[in-house]
Amino acid sequence: MLRFGLVLAVVLAIYWFALSGYTDPLILGFGVISVVLVIGLCARMKILDEETVPYLFAPLTAGYLFWLGKEIVKANVQVVKAVLSPDMEVSPTMVKIPSSPTTEIGKTMFGNSITLTPGTVTVEMEEDEILVHALLTEMSDPEGFKEMAERSAWAVGETKPRAPEDNS
């Protein structure tokens, strides 16, 4: 718990200083007091854990966001082709996707990633499934979401990364 408290204190202090930009000792003192109060409240509420302080996984999350950006571009191309084609091959579909992330932050990251990807929207989240609306039938294959689920779980520190598959 001490480790998470220290990480949160450093992040809050950097964030506070970046937003305020003040170097006056009195104002810096107020910033220190604010950070200490927030850390004290979090400790008293017993919420200093991996989910409350996800900054320890920031490099993993950054890598995931880079991968997600590439997937968003691919989905954009697919949606634009379908919508601009002369026969407009749009085929809306609802499908339940198994959710492999186990923590709330992992499930949230997975659901938000689905919604950020063009052509798909997270409609409902249940304990072990996510209801997804897909614009195209080919976007509704549950196997297509498996890699995203695994990567989102990995990005928040739930699982170890798996070996990449050979898609040749």
Q: In angstroms, rounded to a whole number, what is the distance separating the alpha carbons of residues 151 and 160?
A: 9
What tens digit of pLDDT does each residue of 86-120 get? 887 788 899 999 988 888 888 999 999 999 999 99
Q: What is the mean pLDDT of the chain?
A: 87
Whether the model clears a pTM of 0.85, i.e. scores above it, the answer is: no
Q: In angstroms, rounded to a whole number, what is the distance separating the alpha carbons of residues 150 and 165?
A: 13
Q: What is the pLDDT of residue 160?
A: 64
Q: What is the pLDDT of residue 73?
A: 95
Q: What is the largest distance, in Å, between two alpha-carbon atoms of the chain?
A: 67
Question: 157: burial class by Cβ within 10 Å (0-12, 13-18, 19+)?
Answer: middle
Quick one: pLDDT band at residue 163, thresholds 50, 70, 90?
low
User: For a pLDDT cut of 90, what percent of the chain falls above it?
Assistant: 49
**Pair 146, 92: CB distance under 8 Å:** no
What tens digit of pLDDT does each residue of 61-87 get? 889 999 999 999 999 998 888 888 888
- Check whether 161 has a pLDDT greater than 60: no
